[in-house]
Amino acid sequence: MYKVAQGLRAARWAVAIVILAVLVSLAGIVGFAMGDDAESSATNGSSDRSSAQTDSSDSGERPDFSVLEDVYDVLDRDYVNQEKIDPAILLQGAIDGLLNTLGDQHTVYVDPESYELGVDIISGTYQGIGAQVAEDPLTGEIIIQAPFTGSPAERAGLRPGDAILTVDGESTEGWTVSQAVRVIRGRPGTPVELEIRHGNGSIEKINITRDVIVVQTVYSEPPLGPLEDSNGNVVQDLAYLRIEQFTDQTPRDMNRALEQLGNRYKGLILDLRINPGGGLDSTVQVADLFLEEGVVLTQVNRDGSERVFRANSGGPATNIPIVVLMGPGSASGAEVLAAALRDNGRATLVGEATFGKGAVNNLRELPEGGAVYVTVARWLTPNGEQIEGVGVLPDVNAVLSDENADAGVDTQLMTAIDTLKAKVQAAP
């Protein structure tokens, strides 16, 4: 209950945050979001973990990067503060500078040590503390976006919106998300100390033991107990399912959850409010469980060509009325699913505007053992609307106040229930 209230509060708080081109987990990078995202296929990215290759279609001469070695030689020989000549740090700075000129935060470099730690959000497992972070574009601080359910981060008390001030005593001022990830991640069983400033301004040092994170993605229990409408009445004829991430196991788990629901319910609330995305394939497969047919998304490639992803098989929930709960904590795959269900006439969207991550990202392995998480395309909703930088807007606006979040009263869920009850009653 506490985590849900934290997450819902973060959804409001995150309106002020520009989602990073890639949502980075403290266990690794997330594609689609992590894959992925969250990561072999960024959540809405194709599942492609191939090695980097030169694209023969690129025009122009290849730049002579040997000048970087020449500059390093000068610094190594002549620079007055010799103690600052750290080859690893200078190399990382050069790589970051190269990528930063793109103005695309979704395209990032993963160093060999971090990559070796086993980032595999698409499969649903990775090593770390089990939280996702973003950079506040106004303050530059590293912010906890959301701890995963049951993770060391959640058990230690990390909350969405917490600012990470230090890691093992080292200030995070000026850090990028990639830097934070490299330092905070680590092998299972090893400790890390984070100094945190909570949303109420209090500062706390939190010790966390890293672990192998297995991400549970589908939950059938309402976050705050039995479903209740705005009048306080317990609702027993509506079902509730929450997806916190799209991994390889999500379609199977969602299909099982839907089959368990059977025909006992008149409507379904699908909660995507704290969902940063995941794998493209799993997102499309989940959409297929609710759609008999129709476009799920359109991918627009760098050359302007398009690839259309369609639902084509249908699943156990193609007729049940649906309301989708969403907000600023909904990104990438969550946005794709919400828009697909809306544009195909399957769902009403309740909550707040989503993050706005419409980039397709792939993880490209490098010969030196690292990788580049690179934006390779953009995607559009079935109606042809852009998600990147815009997000998906709700049909019914519902904002959760600080007071209600602190009290554990989920007024957004209540609005969703009232909306779904009206939808069920209006159905033929």
Name which of 58, 19, 21 is nearest 373 in CA terms: 21
Active site residue 332: yes
Residue 228 lies in a domain: yes
Q: Are residues 207 and 247 in the same domain?
A: no
Sign of the dihedral defined by the CA atoms of residues 273, 150, 144, 6, in that order: positive
Report CA dihedral (346, 295, 55, 29) to the nearest 10 degrees. 10
On whether both 206 and 269 belong to a single domain, the answer is no
User: Is 407 inside a domain boundary?
Assistant: yes
User: For this structure, is 357 an active site residue?
Assistant: yes
pLDDT the model gives residue 15: 31
Q: What is the spatial distance between Cα 148 and Cα 25, in angstroms, rounded to a whole number?
A: 10
Residue 122 in domain: yes
Q: State how many domains the chain has.
A: 2
Last residue of a domain, one of 213, 230, 259: 213
Same domain? 208 vs 224: no
Q: Is the pTM of this model over 0.75?
A: no
d(CA 415, CA 231): 11
Domain boundary among 187, 213, 239: 213
d(CA 221, CA 239): 9
Given the residues 46, 47, 332, 421, select the one marked as catalytic: 332
Instruction: Give the separation between CA 86 and CA 62, rounded to whole angstroms.
Output: 27
Q: How many CB atoms lie within 10 A of CB 73?
A: 10
Q: Which two tokens stand for residue 105?
A: 């935060």
Task: From the candidates 357, 410, 418, 421, give the one annotated as an active-site residue.
Answer: 357
Cα(393)–Cα(380) distance, integer angstroms: 14
Residues spanned by the domain of 268: 218-357+378-426
pLDDT block averages, 10 residues each, the chain of length 428 = 47 33 32 32 40 51 89 93 90 91 86 65 73 83 85 92 95 88 89 95 96 84 77 91 91 94 94 90 95 96 96 90 95 95 98 91 89 91 94 95 79 95 88
The DSSP element (H or E) to which 423 belongs, if any, is helix 411-426
One domain, residues 92 and 161? yes
Residues 236 and 192 in one domain: no
In this predicted structure, what is the pLDDT of residue 124?
A: 61
Region for 316 from its dihedrals, namely left if φ exceeds 0, alpha if ψ lies in -120 to 50, beta otherwise: alpha
- Residue 240: which of 205, 207, 272, 211 has the closest Cα? 272
Same-domain status, 305 and 230: yes
160 & 273 share domain: no
Last residue within a domain, chosen from 213, 230, 246:
213
| 413 and 322 assigned to the same domain | yes
Query: 119 and 39 share a domain?
Result: yes
Catalytic residue (choose from 111, 343, 410, 418): 343
Quick one: 38 and 113 in the same domain?
yes
What sign has the CA pseudo-torsion 395, 361, 219, 131?
negative
Q: Pinpoint the alpha helices (H) of 23-151.
A: 66-78, 87-100, 112-116
Q: Are residues 235 and 203 in the same domain?
A: no
pLDDT at 136: 83
Tell me how far apart the alpha carbons of residues 184 and 362 are, in angstroms, rounded to a whole number: 23
Sole residue written with tokens 């970087």: 68
How many Cβ atoms from other residues are within 10 Å of residue 5's Cβ? Answer: 21
d(CA 393, CA 352): 7
